[in-house]
C-alpha cells in the first residue's frame, strides 16, 4: 500500500509539474514567435534577473523549513514567525536593489520598466515557495501539484486567449503586467495558509503531535544562521544554470540571448521530472531518513543514481536526434541557431540528472554548508568561463561553459557524498 500511495502521489506531482512547466514552455513558444528574437531576448533576460532576486528574497527559508521540521518535528513551528520576518527583510532589500538597477544606463527603457513590474512577480514567487514547503511537510501532494501548476497555467490562459481568441497585440509591457497580476493573486492566496502554519494549524506528517518542543522561539540571527546555506545554495545554483542568459544578453546581444533561452527551455522541461522527484517528493523524507533510517536513505540514493544516469543518456540521444525537427516547429524558422546550442547543452543531461540524486543527499544534516562551498566555487568558475567564451563564441560559449561546469560539479558532489554523507557505508562507488 505504501508503494501504491507513493506512486500515486508522485504521478500526480509529475502530472501537475508537466502541466505547469508545459504551460511555461507554451508561453515561451508563443512569445518567441510573437516578439521575435530581440524582444524575446530582453524578456528572457529580465525574467532570469527576477528569478535570482526571487531566490534572494526567499533566501532558502522554504527549504530550511523542510530540514528543521525533519529534525525537530512539531518543534519546527517555533521557527516559522522569525523566519517570516527574515523573508520580509530580504524582500525589502531586493526591492531596493531592483529600484537601483533601473537607474543604470546599461539597461534600456524597456528593460527598466520590466524590472519594476517584476517586483510583484518576485513577491508572488516567494509566497508560492513558502506554501509549497507547507504542503510538502503535510505530504499533501495533490494540493501541492495544483498549487504549483496554477500560476504558470494562469499566465498561459491569459496570454494565449489574448493573442488567439481576442486578437490582442500584446506589447512586452503587457506581458509584464500579466506577470504582475498573477503574482499578486497568489500572494493573497498564500498569506492565509502561511498565517495558519505559523500558529501550528497544519497537518505535519511523520512526526508525533504529542512531541512538541518546549524550546523558545529563535531570534532573527538564529534564523539567518540556519537559512544562509540554503539561500546561497539557491543563488549559486541559479548562477551556473541560468545566469548564462544574462551574460549572453549583455556580452553578445538580445538576439543571442533569445537563441540561447529557446534551447535552454527544452532542457528545463526535461529537468522538471527529476526536480519533482527529489526536491518535492523525496526531500522531506531524506531529512527524516538521514537522521533515523540510514540504510533506507542509502538504498534510495544508490538506486536513484542508476536511474538518473540511464534516463540522462537516453534523453541526450533523443535531443540530439530530434533537435533539427522540433526547434523550427516550436519556435519558428528564425531560431535555427538554437539547434546547435541545444545539441551542446544536451551533453550535460547525464551529469545534471545524476546530480539531482547526489546533490539531494548533501542538504541533509550539516552537509549543506559543504554543498554551498562547492556550488560557490563552480558558480565562480562558470562566470569566468562565460566571460572568456561568450565574447569569442557568443551563445555557444555559454553552452560550453554550462557543460564544463555541470561535469565538474557532479564530480565534486560524488566525492562529498561518499566522504561525508555515506562514510559509514564504506562504499567504493555510488551505483551499487
Nearest to 244 by CA among 403, 54, 28: 403
Most confident of 1-15, 174-188, 253-267, 413-427: 174-188
209 pLDDT higher than 90: no
Assign 286 a pLDDT band (cuts: 50, 70, 90): confident
Mean pLDDT across 22-47: 87
pLDDT tens-digit readout, 348-367: 999 999 999 999 888 887 78
The pLDDT, as a whole number, for residue 14 is 67
Average pLDDT value for residue range 174-182: 95
Is the Cβ–Cβ distance between 64 and 227 less than 8 Å? Answer: yes
Our measurement of the distance from residue 366's CA atom to the centroid of its chain's CA atoms, rounded to an integer in Å, reads: 22
Show the 3-state SS of the chain: CHHHHHHHHHHHHHHHHHHHHHHHHHHHHHHHHHHHHHHHHHHHHHHHHHHHHHHHHHCCHHHHHHHHHHHHHHHHHHHHHHHHHHHHHHHHHHHHHHHHHCCCCCCCHHHHHHHHHHHHHHHHHHHHHHHHHHHHHCCCHHHHHHHHHHHHHHHHHHHHHHHHHCCCCCCHHHHHHHHHHHHHHHHHHHHHHHHHHHCCCCCCCCCCCCCCCCCCCCCHHHHHHHHHHHHHHHHHHHHHHCHHHHHHHHHHCHHHHHHHHHHHHHHHHHHHHHHHHHHHHHHHHHHHHHHHCHHHHHHHHHHHHHHHHHHHHHHHHHHHHHHHHHHHHHHCHHHCHHHHHHHHHHHHHHHHHHHHHHHHHCCCCCCHHHHHHHHHHHHHHHHHHHHHHHHHHCHHHHHHHHHHHHHHHHHHHHHHHHHHHCHHHCCCCCCC
Residues above pLDDT 90, as percent of the chain: 40
Q: Is a pLDDT exceeding 50 seen at residue 140?
A: yes
Q: Quick check: 352 and 278 in contact, CB under 8 A?
A: no
Q: Is the pLDDT of residue 178 over 60?
A: yes
pLDDT tens digits, residue range 366-394?
788 888 899 889 989 999 999 999 999 99
Assess whether pLDDT exceeds 80 at residue 117.
Answer: yes
pLDDT at 280: 74
* Tens-digit pLDDT profile for residues 325-343: 888 888 888 889 999 999 9
Predicted confidence at residue 431, as pLDDT, reads 53
**Least confident piece of the model among 149-163, 199-213, 264-278:** 199-213
Question: Residues of the chain with pLDDT > 70: what percent?
Answer: 92
Mean pLDDT of 216-232: 87
Q: Is the pLDDT of residue 277 over 50?
A: yes
Least confident of 117-126, 251-260, 348-357: 251-260
Q: What is the pLDDT of residue 156?
A: 94
The pLDDT of residue 70 is: 78
Q: Please compute the mean of the pLDDT values over residues 27-36 and round it to a whole number.
A: 88
pLDDT at 204: 83
Higher pLDDT, 428 or 207: 207
CA distance 308 to 300: 12
pLDDT band at residue 49, thresholds of 50, 70 and 90?
Answer: confident
What is the value of pTM for the model shown?
Answer: 0.75
Residue 428 has pLDDT above 50, yes or no: no
The predicted pLDDT at position 32 comes to 87
pLDDT bucket at 48, cuts 50 / 70 / 90: confident
pLDDT for the residue numbered 1: 46
Amino acid at each position: 500500500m505504501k508503494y501504491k500511495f507513493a506512486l500515486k502521489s508522485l504521478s500526480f506531482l509529475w502530472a501537475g509539474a508537466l502541466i505547469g512547466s508545459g504551460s511555461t514552455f507554451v508561453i515561451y513558444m508563443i512569445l518567441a514567435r510573437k516578439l521575435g528574437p530581440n524582444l524575446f531576448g530582453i524578456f528572457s533576460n529580465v525574467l532570469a534577473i527576477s528569478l535570482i532576486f526571487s531566490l534572494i528574497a526567499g533566501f532558502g527559508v522554504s527549504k530550511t523549513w523542510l530540514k528543521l521540521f525533519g529534525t525537530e518535528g512539531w518543534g519546527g513551528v517555533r521557527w516559522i514567525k522569525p523566519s517570516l520576518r527574515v523573508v520580509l527583510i530580504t524582500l525589502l532589500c531586493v526591492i531596493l536593489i531592483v529600484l537601483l538597477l533601473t537607474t543604470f544606463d546599461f539597461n534600456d527603457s524597456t528593460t527598466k520598466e520590466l524590472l519594476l513590474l517584476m517586483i510583484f512577480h518576485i513577491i508572488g514567487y516567494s509566497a508560492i515557495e513558502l506554501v509549497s514547503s507547507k504542503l510538502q511537510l503535510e505530504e499533501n501532494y495533490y494540493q501541492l501539484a495544483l498549487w504549483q501548476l496554477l500560476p504558470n497555467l494562469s499566465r498561459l490562459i491569459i496570454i494565449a486567449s489574448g493573442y488567439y481568441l481576442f486578437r490582442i497585440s500584446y506589447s512586452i509591457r503587457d506581458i509584464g503586467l500579466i506577470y504582475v497580476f498573477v503574482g499578486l493573486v497568489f500572494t493573497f492566496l498564500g498569506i492565509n495558509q502561511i498565517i495558519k502554519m505559523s500558529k501550528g494549524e497544519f497537518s505535519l506528517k511523520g512526526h508525533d503531535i504529542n512531541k512538541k518542543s518546549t524550546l523558545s522561539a529563535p531570534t532573527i540571527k538564529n534564523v539567518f544562521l540556519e537559512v544562509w546555506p540554503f539561500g546561497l545554495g539557491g543563488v549559486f545554483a541559479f548562477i551556473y544554470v541560468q545566469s548564462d542568459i544574462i551574460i549572453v544578453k549583455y556580452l553578445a546581444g538580445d538576439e543571442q540571448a533569445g537563441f540561447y533561452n529557446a534551447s535552454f527551455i527544452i532542457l528545463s522541461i526535461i529537468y522538471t521530472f527529476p526536480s519533482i522527484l527529489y526536491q518535492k517528493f523525496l526531500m522531506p523524507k531524506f531529512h527524516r531518513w538521514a537522521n533515523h533510517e540510514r540504510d533506507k536513505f542509502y538504498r534510495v540514493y544508490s538506486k536513484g543514481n542508476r536511474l538518473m544516469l540511464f534516463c540522462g543518456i537516453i534523453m541526450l540521444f533523443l535531443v540530439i536526434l530530434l533537435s533539427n525537427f522540433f526547434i523550427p516547429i516550436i519556435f519558428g524558422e528564425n531560431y535555427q541557431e538554437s539547434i546547435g546550442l541545444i545539441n551542446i547543452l544536451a551533453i550535460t543531461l547525464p551529469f545534471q540528472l545524476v546530480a539531482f540524486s547526489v546533490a539531494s543527499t548533501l542538504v541533509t544534516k550539516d552537509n549543506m554548508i559543504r554543498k554551498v562551498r562547492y556550488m560557490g566555487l563552480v558558480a565562480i568558475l562558470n562566470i569566468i568561463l562565460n566571460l572568456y567564451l561568450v565574447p569569442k563564441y557568443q551563445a555557444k560559449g555559454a553552452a560550453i561553459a554550462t557543460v564544463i561546469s555541470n561535469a565538474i560539479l557532479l564530480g565534486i558532489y560524488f566525492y562529498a557524498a561518499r566522504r561525508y554523507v555515506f562514510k559509514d557505508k564504506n562504499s567504493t562507488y555510488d551505483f551499487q
